A and B are shown apart, each in its own frame.
Chain A
Amino acid sequence: MPHIEVDGKRIEVNEEGFLAHPEEWNEETARLLAKAEEGLEALTAEHWAVVRFIREYYMEKNLAPMVRKMCQATGFPLMKIYDLFPSGPAKGACKVAGLPKPDGCV
């Protein structure tokens, strides 16, 4: 199983760097994923607003929310999501929120 190592901790991920066991996600994992995969040294309140929403949506519907929903829930304009997560909503934000890789051409 591939894994990443950050701050002396080891996280199991899939080949794409998405959490191998999405159910094992916690805030510490989010912080580590953000650092390793998105190059983010710290998560701000704005990052957390997006991540928490995605997480809740996923727990409820077992589905990644579309970016429209992320913006609606947080009140952020579209560009803000790309500013916060360099790899974008799917490979950035959803990854930090511990979701499995979304299906399709992404």
Chain B
Amino acid sequence: MKEGRLRTYEPGDNVQRFLDLLGRRITRSLAVSMTACVHCGLCAESCHYFLARPDDPTMAPVWKADQIRKIFKKYIDWTGRVAPWWVKAGSLRDDEDLNRLKNIVFGSCSACRRCTYNCPMGVDTGLLVRFTRGLLTELGIVPEGVFNVSRDQWETGNQMAVTEQDYLETLEWMRDEVRTELGTASVDIPVDKPDCEVLYTINPREIKFDPRSIAHAAKVFHAAGESWTLPKWGWDQTNFGLFSGDDKLGAYVARNVYEAAERLRAKRIVISECGHGYRSTRWEGYNWADYDQKLPTESVVVTLKRYLGEGRIAVDPSRNPDAVTFHDSCNIARSGDLVEEPRWVLRRVCTDFREMFPNRRENFCCTGGGGLLSMAEYRPLRLEVAKIKAEQLRATGAKLVCTMCHNCVDGLNDVIKHYKLPMRVVQVLELVSNALVVPGRNETKKTAR
């Protein structure tokens, strides 16, 4: 384990430590978000927590952010120090208060940034929430799930503590499956192969519980004639540093990926379908790790679009006849700027693609964002406010909801199960793999679902 990076809780003067950290870490853009809010209340209407509980003021983004702002005003900002009653500055007394703050920033916000997107003053509540999470993480005041996953990522380089042997065996297993399916031994899932066009990085969940997506990717790369490889180390593109607010963990995990690409002299980094992994590896990671981005870093959906556009793969959309709607992952659309590419692909691989409303950057979170899926204690509230998502899904009348995020897959599955919706969740790779026309293959054979 990297020395002393994961903090465990210690009794003591945590309030003072919290304030010291706050003073030290506050940045210009955060200070703006601390002070610019005019309390117009517009953001409330954009938050699924508030929409589901309109009579509960503590669900409004502005209230959540105010709990942080109050502390900032009292201890850091001069207006609060001079006239605390005027700016409603609040005090932080003990660990009990810190714990309450934890329940607000981890438990009643999925860090989806929909409120941020809708604030006329440019207040970034999502950023404030992540910043506060980071301060609490530094004191070890975090939900158990976040702690465990962060520990695994620090200690093993991947968030599910998958061993190298398990990783390699699963890849071989999937290689054999695709070989059997396509009836050719020329399919490969290379590991640590130097000088490839593509370095493919994945979510540990794919290895541990759902390797179908690896098989789908292998099939498509094979059909496109791509030169590709996975790295033996640095293959986890997910990053709990984004959720816990711990930039050091963020830097460590992202750097592993970037260094793998450099070590293997790959031409580009491709990220499998994962929202927070995409945002972390493509956007935030370079800053966290202070790493000079030399290679293009893209989502596999962008890669798929290129293959289709260049005619490198052929598809038959009639193999996906069911109505499909698309769920924009917050970390991909709102915070990752990838909006039209998945739609472009879906229109080519399915016969009935329909939007849900609202969509694109205005889409509602799957409700499992911000690491909430790993925090069982907040699940009842999460499922309650998922009412908004359930109505939005139901209105599409689609049988399939497609998303390019493994986390959203689980989040949406929870919503579907809880609200008994007649839908199934799929990912873009699955639909493309389904529609893929592989030359010379017995086309009557059905592909894996």
Q: Point out residues on A near B: beta carbons under 8 Å.
A: 2, 14-16, 18, 64, 66-68, 71, 77-79, 82, 87-91, 101-106
Contacts and interface: CB of A to CB of B under 8 A. Distances in A.
Contacts of A15: 376-380
Contacts of A77: 177
A104 B211 contact: no
A14 B209 contact: no
A106 B410 contact: yes
B159 interface: yes
B406 A67 contact: no
Contacts of A16: 376, 379
A105 B379 contact: no
Nearest to A83: B449
Contacts of B166: 66, 68
Max count, chain A CB within 10 A of own CB: residue among B149, B207, B208: B208
If over half of A's interface residues share one DSSP class (helix, strand or loop), that class is named, otherwise mixed; here it is loop
Interface of B: 145, 148-149, 152, 159-160, 162, 166, 169-170, 173, 177, 203-205, 207-212, 238, 373-374, 376-380, 406-407, 410, 413, 417, 448-449
A102 to B, nearest CB: 8
Contacts of B148: 103
A106 B209 contact: yes
Given A104-B159, A105-B373, A89 B448 contact: no
A103 B374 contact: yes
B235 to A, nearest CB: 15
Nearest to B238: A105
B24 to A, nearest CB: 31
Contacts of B159: 103-105
A104 B204 contact: yes
Contacts of A88: 209-210
A90 to B, nearest CB: 5
Contact of A104 (B160, B169, B449): B160
Contact of B208 (A66, A71, A82, A101): A66
Contacts of A89: 209-210
A66 B417 CA distance: 24
Contacts of A64: 208
B195 to A, nearest CB: 29
Given A15-B379, A67-B210, A90-B209, A105 B410 contact: yes
Contacts of B380: 2, 15
7 contacts: A2-B380, A16-B376, A67-B211, A68-B166, A78-B448, A103-B152, A104-B160
A88 B212 CA distance: 12
Contacts of A79: 448-449
The interface centre, meaning the residue of A64, A104, A105 with most chain B CB atoms within 10 A of its CB, is: A105
A56 to B, nearest CB: 18
A87 B413 contact: yes
Contacts of A78: 177, 211-212, 448
Contacts of A101: 376
Contacts of A71: 173
A33 to B, nearest CB: 14
A82 B209 CA distance: 11
B226 to A, nearest CB: 23
B187 to A, nearest CB: 16
Contacts of B160: 102-104
B20 to A, nearest CB: 31
Contacts of B448: 78-79
- 9 closest A-B pairs by beta carbon, nearest first, are A15-B379, A90-B209, A103-B148, A15-B376, A66-B208, A104-B160, A68-B170, A89-B209, A16-B376
B209 A103 contact: no
A66 B162 CA distance: 9
Nearest to A14: B376
A68 B238 CA distance: 21
Nearest to A65: B208
Nearest to B276: A105
A104 B379 contact: no
Nearest to B152: A103
Given A15-B376, A68-B166, A102-B208, 18 more contacts: A66-B170, A67-B208, A71-B173, A78-B212, A102-B209, A103-B145, A103-B152, A103-B159, A103-B160, A103-B374, A104-B159, A104-B204, A104-B374, A105-B149, A105-B373, A105-B407, A106-B373, A106-B410
Q: Which of B166, B209, B379 has the most CB of A within 10 A?
A: B209
A71 B172 CA distance: 14
A14 B407 CA distance: 20
A67 B217 CA distance: 18
A68 B169 contact: yes
Contacts of A91: 410, 413
A2 B407 CA distance: 24
Contacts of B149: 103-105
A105 B406 contact: yes
A82 B173 CA distance: 17
